[in-house]
Amino acid sequence: MDTSINKIQSLQSLQKIRAVLGEKGKQVVFTNGCFDLIHSGHVFLFKEAKKLGDVLIVAINDDRSIRKIKGATRPIFPLAERLEILEAIEHIDYLIPFPEETPQKVISVLLPDILVKGEDWKRNGVVGRKEVEEAGGKVVLVPLCKGQSTTSLLEKILHSSTK
């Protein structure tokens, strides 16, 4: 990928990029999440996802949608900081923030060739699975890194601060 290209894109821009990639026969991989506290489990997910295709698109929940999903104390880091961190991860080609609680709209528009989630998601519970599979794509569940979740890290931090 050309590193001079801005990784953060709008849905309309990514739709055009996706069309060009499809014409060139490139495999587009997609994953999503809050990515509130970036940890080694996230990096492992991105690394494994990128191995599955040519271009990795990562969709990231905006702050308002995270508060709806995780509660008033989240996100820990605002969207701008999370995007800045994710931009620095070499495995990620494009980033797209989204305001909805799920990436259903983004997935339905982009129809990636491969939709990747952590194995804690049940295959049938993966948002966008139906659309991706109906378009000829597939869903891949990546193994989790033991003990590496934002929730477990926050619990560890809170527990250590109360000692």
Spans of all domains in the chain: 11-161
What CATH number matches the domain at 11-161, 3.40.50.620, 1.10.10.10, 3.10.129.10, 3.40.5.50? 3.40.50.620
**Which of 65, 93, 113 has its CA nearest to residue 6?**
93
**Which of 39, 26, 50 has its CA nearest to residue 110?**
26
pTM of the model: 0.88
Say yes or no to pLDDT of 156 above 60.
Answer: no
pLDDT confidence band for 149 (50 / 70 / 90): low
Residue 139 to residue 119: CA distance in whole angstroms: 11
Residue 141 to residue 139: CA distance in whole angstroms: 7
Which distant-in-sequence residues (6+ apart) come within 8 Å of 42 by Cβ?
33, 35, 148
Q: Provide the pLDDT for residue 20.
A: 97
Say yes or no to pLDDT of 154 above 90.
Answer: no
Say yes or no to pLDDT of 27 above 60.
Answer: yes
**Which of 75, 40, 47 has its CA nearest to residue 148?**
40
pLDDT confidence band for 36 (50 / 70 / 90): confident
Q: Provide the pLDDT for residue 1.
A: 47
Q: For 1-149, where are the alpha helices, taking DSSP H only?
A: 11-23, 40-51, 63-70, 79-87, 104-110, 129-134
